[in-house]
Structure 1
Amino acid sequence: MIDARILLLGGGNMGSALLGGWLDNGLDPAKVTVVDPAVGPALQPLLNKGVTHRSVVPDEAFDIVLLAVKPQMMSAAVPPLKAAMQPDTMVVSIAAGTTIAAIEALLGERPVVRAMPNTPALIGRGITGAYGNASTSADNRAAATSLLEASGPVEWVDAEPLIDAITAVSGSGPAYVFHLAECMAKAGAALGLDADLAMRLARHTVAGAGELMIRSDDEPAQLRKNVTSPNGTTQAALDVLMGEERLARLMDEAMRAARDRAAQLAKG
């Protein structure tokens, strides 16, 4: 891990997940201060490891500030951070829908990284999209990557609007997968399975298929073909899902809606 003094604004589930990853990867807990009015169940075990907690922003200088508060809290929670910043302090924000321009308006021009993690970060299996402003140096990017990849891989894009597309694919994506499992379980129950059994089958099938995609060198299309015997049961189901590109068109429509909504939120 990097050798820097870090202020984490927000010790909720996502902030605590990142912090836990930093500590697991060897970050000195004495280097981290968490600012949050309350200490929740996700944060308390990490404070027991030596991380400093403050209910208000301390009048100290930090090298990196990571914003892990809800977007609606930004305007009130962020301005006090000026007391903890040097001119070259880097800001990393995981606040959904909050643009770099909005952060610069609150904290002035400085290195700012806007990042979009997803909820599997809570178990160290997330993926994060990131974009840095013009003040973000190669060293800044390396430091931000080191922090963000504690919960999974980090993918950088070269234009801020692409963060909205990342939101549509991976930021909101876990909900699509959860709904798929819901639908599979409901359909299984309609076929006569016990509802709890159908849900267990759906959960493990989705989780196992995801893990196989991560571990395999094959593309998802090839993995799909590997499972599909000509004129077999899987082919019969795929004829329904893929006929007239039914599922592909639905996913395209859904993710465009998510991307457009993310852009609207960013505009306020």
Structure 2
Amino acid sequence: MQPNDLEGIARQIRRRDVQAVFEAGAGHIGGEMSATDILTALYFRVLRISPDEPKRPDRDRFVLSKGHVALALYVTLAKRGFIPEDEISTFLKPHSRLNGHPNCNKVPGVETNTGPLGHGLPVAVGMAKAAKLTGAGYHTYVMTGDGEMQEGSNWEAISAAAQFGLNNLTLIIDHNRFQQGASLADTNNLAPFGPKLTAFGWDVTEIDGNNMAEIVPALERRGDRPHCIVAHTNKGHGISFMQDRVDWHHKVPNEEQYKIALAELSEVN
């Protein structure tokens, strides 16, 4: 798919995400909006995957380390055919398999359980190392939040990936500049991330993470070292009253806000 096609799918995913948050009365809508473009590019262009064979051994792997934005992943998986689209309406309901964090034992297409921040990247390093040991040709992608990069386990994994020469690993940092309760600058600001990853021996690409024309070539890039994409995104992207507002980390829109959000997400820029 070309960038224009991907942008249309991303708008559909955002609209369904907002609807599900509104109906469930919960979610992490700000980070879901910032991550949607990257998820769309991965699942509709980049990843070598098959909804009919979600555990096919040679499939590419994607780990959503920032597991609290699971709803964006569920909507993407549904749009791609891994789960029924009408199942999104069960999000967070009793006995639903679509919980607040992804579960690989229940949801096809989820590679590993995530939720405790700082765990996804170490698991992804293990997946990439396993491919090297077995001669498998799959590529592993992992998305973290920028606040999540404050976890020390991530930097141990970054060091290990460079040591093992894992050029089959791509880390995407969703750099939307906000975490729960505060901006990154007001907590433990590790930005800029690029020079730090470079110092650890990684290749680094910095992009506008809400621009498909920049996202696609960055995700498809291959080299001889592990690759980090610092994706500069906007919390609440695409919705004027949410964008770059820390209180929309997990705030739920009221009915009026919901209607405004859907209308804005229907507009084609």
Give the structure-2-normalised TM-score.
0.39
Give the structure-1-normalised TM-score.
0.39
Structure number with larger C-alpha Rg: 1
Where relative contact order (Cα < 8 A, 6+ residues apart) is larger, the structure is 2
